[in-house]
Amino acid sequence: MVRGRISRLSVRDVRFPTSLGGHGSDAMHTDPDYSAAYVVLETDAEDGLKGYGITFTLGKGTEVVACAVNALAHHVLNKDLGDIVGDFRGFYRQLTSDGQLRWIGPEKGVVHLATAAVLNAVWDLWAKQEGKPLWKLLVDMDPRMLLSCIDFRYITDVLTEEEAYGILQKGQIGKKERERQMLMHGYPAYTTSCAWLGYSDDTLKQLCTEALQDGWTRFKVKVGADLQDDIRRCRLIRNMIGPEKTLMMDANQRWDVPEAIEWMSKLAEFKPLWIEEPTSPDDILGHATISKCHNRVIFKQLLQAKALQFLQIDSCRLGSVNENLSVLLMAKKFEIPVCPHAGGVGLCELVQHLIIFDFISVSASLKNRMCEYVDHLHEHFRYPVTIKKASYMPPKDAGYSTEMKEESVKKHQYPDGEVWKKLLAAQNN
């Protein structure tokens, strides 16, 4: 089915001035401009289909990620798409183990974000050529083919390919029924839109009221900058949502380990389900409950060390679908619920595919599971998420939902798009 040779790769630096409204602000990232390095792949096939890939960034530094995408381009250009997906493990390793480039990673930071953007575009293209949304491409894929997309390097002490095959085989049972369930009811979500750190109490109250009216039952609040402030805000939100609904907290890496313990003992009365990123994302031994990580090796150890009770995958920080598959399978082995990280630019659009696949083909459970939702920037995407009754409804369009509206991209390109020209001119006056 797949066809064509990659004839062009372009990357653009797209930034949204979210810092102007305090959207996305937390204890470590006080003024983020939600941004993306946006990759477009073209082929010489006659179908004219393109693959779109993004990785999420916070403004400054997006140009560094774009630079890294260009450094990876020679691995992609002039390759047949069929050869790429036919040995996707080999292709993944080529990108992540380039003998010169891996020094500036490996599999972390800028180069890994760039790898994700490129691979996300490949997956989008593949799914489009197959005429399926990405989740459905994965659900329908032969287990052996699916495993051939995963690089098991560095995780075989915890999960071998044969074990992974066993998990996927087991996942075949009841698959059809679960797919129907998803199409009918969607995947449960929680909202982070109400309680960014930079919002005033009035804004928080208003957004929380609206969210309750919209049927949301699970809420996340950003904490970690000032304890008294956190106590006031957590009390406010707990009082509004009542004792039965779910509240999560996120410190965004703000604390040292002793500080995290002390701080959280003070916030325990508001009954958080979890505390997210209490400390450095590199600190496996110091970790408490939930973590966004940069690669499968870190996730492996968090599982081995029993250092988390929930696991957050990320569609743009990990090495695309390929690496997320390995993490979903490890989480299944350890029976740790996966609750994806989303928000940002397009993270909701992408990660819904992965978690819907996970439910249908791997975890087969919704217990203690939900996917983050943030009500931001969806208007810039051609295939935005559909939320119904606080659930993600499975996308129906072919692809990975990564494509942005060309007009949005043009307007928000940094620094030459219309939006930034105006803002930068205003700053200079």
CA–CA distance, 97 with 36 (Å, rounded to integer): 24
CA–CA distance, 52 with 324 (Å, rounded to integer): 18
Q: Phi, psi (5° rounding) for residue 220? A: -120, 140
Residues classed as catalytic = 222, 341
Q: Tell me the three state secondary structure of residue 253.
A: coil
Smaller CB distance to a second copy: residue 273 or 302? 302
Paired tokens of 348? 């909701």
Tell me how far, at minimum, the Cβ of 409 lies from a second copy, in Å: 20
H helix or E strand, kind and range, residue 91 = helix 88-96
Paired tokens of 352? 């819904």
* Chain center to CA of 270: 27
Strand ranges (DSSP E) for 271-385? 272-276, 290-292, 310-312, 371-373
CA–CA distance, 347 with 344 (Å, rounded to integer): 6
Smaller CB distance to a second copy: residue 143 or 286? 286
| Residues pairing with 13 in the sheet | 37
Range 284-289 contact pairs with CB under 8 angstroms and sequence separation of 24 or more = 286/257, 286/260, 288/260, 288/264
User: Is residue 303 within 8 Å of 280, Cβ to Cβ?
Assistant: no
Smaller CB distance to a second copy: residue 117 or 354? 117
Smaller CB distance to a second copy: residue 134 or 155? 155
Tell me how far, at minimum, the Cβ of 3 lies from a second copy, in Å: 30
CA–CA distance, 220 with 274 (Å, rounded to integer): 9
Smaller CB distance to a second copy: residue 37 or 125? 37
Tell me how far, at minimum, the Cβ of 287 lies from a second copy, in Å: 10
Tell me how far, at minimum, the Cβ of 346 lies from a second copy, in Å: 15
Tell me how far, at minimum, the Cβ of 66 lies from a second copy, in Å: 9
Smaller CB distance to a second copy: residue 92 or 126? 92
Which spans of this chain sit near a second copy (rule: CB under 8 A)? Answer: 28-33, 57-61, 63-65, 67-68, 71, 97-113, 152-157, 253, 256-259, 279-286, 294-295, 297-298, 300-301, 304-305
Burial class (CB in 10 A: 0-12, 13-18, 19+), 337: middle
Tell me how far, at minimum, the Cβ of 122 lies from a second copy, in Å: 20
Q: Phi, psi (5° rounding) for residue 372? A: -60, 145
CA–CA distance, 268 with 278 (Å, rounded to integer): 14
